[in-house]
Amino acid sequence: MSILLQGGRFKKRLMPILLSMALAGCSNLLGSSFTQTLQQDANASSEFYMNKLGQAQELEDQQTYKLLAARVLISENKVEQSEALLSELGELNDAQKLDRALIEARISAAKNANEVAQNQLRALDLNKLSPSQKSRYYETLAIVAENRKDIIEAVKARVKIDENLTDVQRRQDNVDKTWALLRSANTGVINNASDEGNAALGGWLTLIKTYNDYIRQPVQLSQALQSWKNAYPNHAAATLFPKELLTLLNFQQTNVSQIGLLLPLSGDGQILGTTIQSGFNDAKGNSTIPVQVFDTSMSSVQDIIAQAKQAGIKTLVGPLLKQNLDVILADPAQIQGMDVLALNATPNSRAIGQLCYYGLSPEDEAESAANKMWNDGIRSPLVAMPQNDLGQRVGNAFNVRWQQLAGTDANIRYYNLPADVTYFLQENGSNSTALYVVANPDELVEMKGYLTNSAPNLRIYASSRSSSNTASSNPEFVAQMNGVQFSDIPFFKETNSPQYQKLAKTTGGEYQLMRLYAMGADAWLLINQFNELRQVPGYRLSGLTGILSAGTNCNVERDMTWYQYQDGAVVPVAN
C-alpha cells in the first residue's frame, strides 16, 4: 500500500515535469515545422515576409522569414536587397543553410557570375532537395545557360523545372518562358539540336520546328499546331499551351471586303493626307477591294465611323491626326466589330481589341539604334538627345530597349547646344566608344566637327532626322559625315527603282513626303494582313518603311535599315 501511495505521489510530482517537457517538445516541433516551409514555394511578396519577420518572436522563425524574403526579392529584381538580407543571418540550422545556398547561387546567376553559380549548385546534394527546391535549382541552371546564350541548355533546365512543379500557374509561367527561349533561337540552333532521348525536350523541338516551318502560312500553322497537340497529348505544352500561341488555334485569315480610309484631305493637313493616299493607292494597284475615302478635316471622326458602319465597312485605315485618334480612344465602343489600323499613336494609346497603331515614330528608330549598337558589340554607348519633348520620348525608348538588352540603364544626356556633346564625353571619360544622337543636319555637322578633333575614334550613330534630301545631295555634307551611320526607311535603298524615281520627281525629292508615301503603301500591306499581324507571334512583313511586326498593344514596330556615309557616298550597312 505504501509503495502504491508513494508511486501515486511520485506520479503527481512527475506530471508537471513531463507536461513541461512535452510542451517544450511541441514548441520545437512547431518551430521546425515552420522552417520546413523553406522546402515549399514562396508565394507572397517580400513585403509580406518582412512584416512577418517583424512580428516573429523566435530566432529560428526570424531567420526563416529572412530567407523567404531574400528569395522573393530576387524575383522582384531587388538583388542587392536580397544580398543585404542574407548578410544579416545568424546561426542557421541545416534546413536553413541549404536554402541559403540555393539563394546564393540564384544571386550569382542574377549577377552573371555563371561559374560561381554553377560551383555553388555542385556543392548541393540534389537528393536532399524537395521538388520545390529542385525547381529553384534548375531555374538557376536555366538562367546561367541564358546568360551564356545557350538556348538549348536553358530549355533542358526548364524541362527539369517542369518535372518538379505542381502549381498550375508556375507550370504555365515555365511553359511560356520555355517557349520564349525557343522563339529567340535561330533556326540553325534548333535544327541542329538533339532531343537526347528525352521525350519532353523532343516535343519542344518539334513544336518550334513546326512553328518555324509554317510561320508564313498561318492557316496551315494553326492546323499543324493542333496536330502537334494530338501527337503529344501528355506534354507540358499540350496541357498548358504557350499563351502566345493560343490565338493561333482558332486563326482565321484576313478577309477584307471594303476599306474606309480616314485622312485629312483639305486644310492644314492636306499635303500629309494626299501623300499618304498616293502611296496607299499605288500599293493597292489593281486590287478589286473597294476603298471609300473620308476627309477628317470636313467631318468629325464620330460621324465618319457612323457613315462607314452604315455603308457596311468593317475595316478602317486611319485616322492620321492625334486629336482624331484620341476621339476613338476616349470611346472605343464606337469601333466595336471593326478592324482599325490607326496611322498614329498618342499618350492615350493602349491595348484595344482589333485596333493597331502604325506610324513613322522616332521611338522606333531609337529601339532600332539600341539593337544596332548592341549587335555591333557596343556596351557603354553615350546617347545625346535634344532638351525637348522629342528628346525625352526618344531617350526613354532607347533606354527601355537597352535595359532589355544589357540589363542596365543607358547613359542618356540632353543637350541644348551641339557643343554640349564634348562635355558629355569628357565627363564620361574613356567609357564610351560610341554615340547615338538625334539631331538635324546642321546640328550634326557642328557636333561632328567638335568630335573629329576631340574623339576621332568615336563611332557615331544618328537618326533619320539628320538625313534630308538637301543635306544628302550636298557633297560637302556627305564628306563631313564620313563614317557616320544613320537609320532610315529601306525604300531609300531603292534609288534606281521606277517607283523611287517617280516619287522623287513628284515630291521634288523631299524626304519627309517620300517617307509619308512609303507609310501609305505599307498601310495597305498591313491592313490586308491584319489578322496575321495581330495573332501570329513573330509575324513580320517587309515594307517600304521597314520590317514590320506587332509589338506591345499592337503597336507596329519597324526594324530600320542602316546606312553609312562612306567615301563620298551613302551605302547600306548590316543591321
pLDDT of 30: 33
- Phi, psi angles (nearest 5°) of residue 326: -65, -30
In the chain, the N- to C-terminal Cα span, in Å, equals 103
- Amino acid letter, 476: E
Alpha-carbon distance of 412 to 420, in angstroms, equals 13
Alpha-carbon distance of 477 to 449, in angstroms, equals 11
Contact criterion met (CB below 8 Å) for 511 and 468: yes
pLDDT of 250: 85
Contact criterion met (CB below 8 Å) for 493 and 487: no
- Amino acid letter, 238: A
Contact criterion met (CB below 8 Å) for 224 and 158: no
324 Cβ neighbours under 8 A, 6+ residues apart = 262, 296, 301, 318
Helix (H) or strand (E) segment spanning residue 301: helix 301-310
- Amino acid letter, 498: P
Q: Is the peptide bond before 386 cis (omega within 30 degrees of 0)?
A: no
Alpha-carbon distance of 311 to 405, in angstroms, equals 47
β-strand 259-263 against 315-317: which pairing, if any? Answer: parallel
74 Cβ neighbours under 8 A, 6+ residues apart = 82, 103, 106, 107, 110
Q: Residue 484 region, left (φ>0) first, then alpha (ψ -120 to 50), else beta?
A: beta
Q: Residues 491, 497, 499, CA angle at the centre, nearest 5°? A: 75
Alpha-carbon distance of 342 to 570, in angstroms, equals 33
Domain annotation for the chain: domains and CATH numbers: 33-148 (1.25.40.10), 166-251 (1.25.40.650), 259-357 (3.40.50.2300), 362-574 (3.40.50.2300)
SS3 466: helix
Alpha-carbon distance of 14 to 143, in angstroms, equals 58
Contact criterion met (CB below 8 Å) for 159 and 204: yes
Contact criterion met (CB below 8 Å) for 458 and 451: yes
In sequence order, the β-bridge partners of residue 459 are 434
Instruction: Give 3-state DSSP helix, strand, coil % of the chain, rounded to 5.
Output: 60, 10, 30
pLDDT of 7: 44
517 Cβ neighbours under 8 A, 6+ residues apart = 275, 276, 278, 279, 282, 503, 507
Q: Residues 525, 342, 364, CA angle at the centre, nearest 5°? A: 75
* 131: its cell numbers: 521538388
Q: Residues 43, 49, 54, CA angle at the centre, nearest 5°? A: 165
pLDDT of 508: 86
Burial letters for 330-357: b for 16+ Cβ neighbours within 10 Å, e otherwise? Answer: eeeeebeebbbbbbbbbeebeebebbbb
Strand order in the sheet with 459-462: 411-415, 382-386, 434-437, 459-462, 485-488, 561-566, 569-573
Q: Give me the sign of the Cα torsion angle 316, 321, 326, 327.
A: negative
CA 420 to chain centre: 32
pLDDT of 472: 73
Per the listing, cell 496611322 goes with 343
Instruction: Give pLDDT tens digits along the chain (575 positions).
Output: 333 334 444 344 444 433 333 333 333 333 357 888 999 999 999 999 999 999 999 999 999 999 999 999 999 999 999 999 999 999 999 999 999 999 999 999 999 999 999 999 999 999 999 999 999 999 999 999 999 999 999 999 999 999 999 999 999 999 999 999 999 999 999 999 999 999 999 999 999 999 999 999 999 999 999 999 999 999 999 999 999 999 898 899 999 999 999 999 999 999 999 999 999 999 999 999 999 999 999 999 999 999 999 999 999 999 999 999 999 999 999 999 999 999 999 999 999 989 999 999 899 899 999 999 999 999 999 999 999 999 999 999 999 999 988 888 999 999 999 999 999 998 877 678 999 999 999 999 999 999 988 899 999 999 999 987 777 778 899 999 999 999 999 998 888 889 999 888 888 889 999 999 999 999 999 999 999 999 999 899 999 999 999 998 999 999 899 999 999 989 999 87
Alpha-carbon distance of 252 to 396, in angstroms, equals 36
SS3 252: coil
For 331-382, give the DSSP string: -GGGGTT-EEEES---TT----TTEEE----HHHHHHHHHHHHHHTT--S-E
- Phi, psi angles (nearest 5°) of residue 262: -105, 110
| Residue of 423, 468, 467, 471 whose CA lies nearest to 447 | 423
Alpha-carbon distance of 532 to 542, in angstroms, equals 14
Alpha-carbon distance of 557 to 535, in angstroms, equals 15
pLDDT of 515: 94
Burial letters for 102-111: b for 16+ Cβ neighbours within 10 Å, e otherwise? Answer: bbbbbbbbbe
| DSSP, res 569 | E
* 33: its cell numbers: 515545422
- Amino acid letter, 378: I
Q: Residues 462, 553, 281, CA angle at the centre, nearest 5°? A: 70
Strand order in the sheet with 541-543: 541-543, 546-550, 556-559
pLDDT of 430: 66
pLDDT of 496: 85
- Phi, psi angles (nearest 5°) of residue 522: -75, -25
